Amino acid sequence: MKPVIHAAAGATAMLIIALFWVSTLVSEIFLDDAAVAAVKHAIVFGLFLLVPCMAATGGSGFMLSRMRSGDLLELKKKRMAVIGANGLLVMIPAAIFLNGKAVAGEFDALFYSVQAVELIVGTVQLTLMGMNFRDGLRLAGKAASSTA
């Protein structure tokens, strides 16, 4: 049951982050300021789903890792530490900050600078999570173990 919870929570978290990222990019490029503000507001509310998914992924991964060892597992743990730190120290504060600025209609250089950082770190998050997903499949014996 733990592997199912781990996979489902991790996949859901990845999808939520991807949805945040794509929604942000589409609203910024194609839509007006009101739509950008609505997306920023929705992202803050979406954190109430994302954070528990990330916690479930980390917690279930920790429980699963007690039964195993190896380089692949250590790599996943290191990535998860970076993912968690990025989320807590960059992504969540940026989402809250950008929502506040958008609600106030302050689409200034600071808003767009933080927005750029959020998009870059979001790309890093998705990449690291994707690598962990791939390595999780390898650990479960459901993917080839080549590094190509």
Mean pLDDT by 10 residues, the chain (148 residues): 87 97 97 97 97 93 83 91 96 98 97 97 97 89 60
Whether 144 is in a domain gets the answer no
Whether 147 is in a domain gets the answer no
Whether 28 is in a domain gets the answer yes
How buried is residue 69: exposed, middle or buried, by Cβ count under 10 Å (0-12/13-18/19+)?
A: exposed
CA distance readout (Å), 44 to 49, 103, 110, 120? 10, 12, 19, 18
Helix, strand, or coil here: 47?
A: helix
The pair of three-digit structure tokens given for residue 1, joined into one six-digit string: 């049951």
- Look up tokens 């990535």; give the residue: 79
pLDDT score at 13: 96
Whether 148 is in a domain gets the answer no
* Structural domains counted in the chain: 1
Whether 83 is in a domain gets the answer yes
pLDDT score at 148: 47
**Counts for the chain of helices (H) and strands (E), in that order:** 5, 0
Q: Which domain does 122 fall in, by range? A: 2-138
**Nearest one of 124, 62, 65, 67 to 91, comparing CA atoms:** 124
Count other Cβ atoms within 10 Å, centred on residue 5: 16
